[in-house]
Structure 1
Amino acid sequence: MEIRLEKIAKELLIDEDFLVIPNFGGFVTHFRPAVLEPTKNILIPPGKNISFNVQLSKNDGFLAQSIVVKTGLSYQDALKAIEAKVEFWQNELAATNYLELDGLGSFVLNKEGNLVFEQFNETNFASTSFGLTNVHAKPVQRIDLASRIERGLDKKIATPRLFRIAKTSSIAAGIALIIGFGLFQTFSTMGTDVQQQSLSIPPLSFGSNTVNEKTHVPLEHVDPVNTVFNEEDRQEFRDRGHLDEEPNLERIQEIQAERKEKEKLFARTTKTSAIENNSIEKSKVIVKSDSQPTSLPYHIIAGCFGIKSNAHKMVKQLQKTGYSNAQIVGRSKSGLYRVAYGSYGQKIKALKALAKIKLSHNSKAWMAKD
């Protein structure tokens, strides 16, 4: 009876570690992990490798007994069937030097007369990997650093940047609208006279001794900060860092309230001092300070200081520079010591001196009047 010996051997090798075919050789299995064939880009799951040893040819009875169980033949008939199949294989090798066993692998008879076995990977002999098949792996394309940087720059130039610009512009427009509305509310409470008339500002004239003309400035072109502060107050709040802030309505109202409180406190202090020294009339308050006589009411201010020693230092510096008339001319309403380049009895002379100082020494100088 002819049997399919290669099929029976394949089934036995799934559960057994080795199998001897009498007078031919023995198959030995070895567990292997998952492997990748880089040439074919195939990932092979875990399984068993099969090797062939021609020296394992002595009959151990296991193969014949397995044939008895599977086919119902007697033990002697199973041995005869094995011998017939082995004889057929050997004749095939002698004729073609090649033998292929379905599901197991192929044999090649080399020049030295040795059998070289190569396993077929179509069958996984590991029962623990049952159902797993080969996976075709797609190679990963590595992107170098230069390409990644270039790709990142391209993404930054894309439309999201336009969205961010549009969003920022919308926010800025909204803030400007809120500030404008607040300023409008401020001017609406300044009185009907200011709303119905334009502001009149006397121009600076250096060529004549009289100022007869007025420059009319429309109300909508007026800086709201300049309408709240005079030059002396602007210098005070510039020293305190307030003018670096946005001119919003809340800040202006806060500064106005602070000014009024300081003016009240200063008036009470000077009035008390004047009563104690009996140097003034009850209806007037005159501040005693380091200022010039009332005949020189116009002062070109270089700066204001909270500490008097700092004011004296600036006076010395100005005198060394050539401004011999530099001196401290009292305090401002907020209590700061004022340092002046000089004092003048006529406004036109003070304006001329101010223009000269702005061009030659200090562009931030301003004029104050007692």
Structure 2
Amino acid sequence: MQLEQYISDLLYRYDCVTVPEFGSFLTQRQSAEVHQSTNAFYPPKKQLSFNEQIQTNDGLLAHYIAEIEKIPFETALQNLSKRVKSLKSYLIEGETLSFENIGDLVLNSNGKIEFSPSYHLNYLTDAFGLSQFVSPAVTREVYKEEVETIEKVIPIAVTPEKRKSKSYLKYAAIAVVALGMAGFGFNNYVNNVDQHNQIAQEEANKQLESNIQEATFVISNPLPAITLNVNKQTGNYHVVAGAFRVEANSDKKVAQLQGKGFKARKIGENKYGLHQVAYASYTDRQDALQALNTIRKEHNKDAWLLIKKLD
């Protein structure tokens, strides 16, 4: 069983992949960053971690193995359980488990599993094709300091010998007046532009209102209003009842489950073109797991948990 390959495949699509009776591999989105000393730019990515405390079987990994290997769900669970036992024995013997493109697992002195993530693969699909690169340092501030130094070394001064005539005062006064008039004219130009934009906006609004009024009509005998109370299902955790090749069968299943009191609904097609039906959807993972355990005990032992953001 290529367990690490199956886990790696699921990490692209899910934030949590649980290996029953072993632990869970978790991902958390990390923003792009810049290394200050090396000027290296790193794209956004999913940061990998491992939590030994989360061991409850949510059915995700076993169901994926069953689909890929074309075997029954129960057989996939048995094979997965055997592999977990062998992994634990390797750890107890002091060996390091190396999962390709995921990381290394080893037991510490306290008997707890320590995880060292691998950085060879970026599981964030939004960052596909992006790689790290190094950029030369920006030195604009250094150039500014050099200019300031030159200005201090070579000051500009007017010697008394060149001020025998006071005619320069006349030209200076003319320049000040010219600049003032130019500034006044520019301000008037800006004000005129703003006023023009405001008038044009008001005309556009009037035209829009006129078009809306012309398109309004009255129905002499309107139909009576009907009020429907619809409880929209939300959440990214879905307890799946089954998947059907024929959509009509999925509709029958939804009606059947709703008749039993479940908030059942269709949650779209999977990659094999099967129409999936869920008992209910949940926003909290723990609530979804509790519902899954209850449904397996009382209604359907083959129910499983799908973690997916629906459109």
The structure having more radius of gyration, on CA atoms, is 1
Q: Verify same fold: TM over 0.5.
A: no
Q: Tell me which of the two structures has the higher relative contact order, counting C-alpha pairs closer than 8 angstroms and 6 or more residues apart.
A: 2
Q: Give TM class, smaller chain.
A: 0.3 to 0.5
TM-score normalized with structure 1 length: 0.37
Query: TM-score, normalising length from structure 2?
Result: 0.43
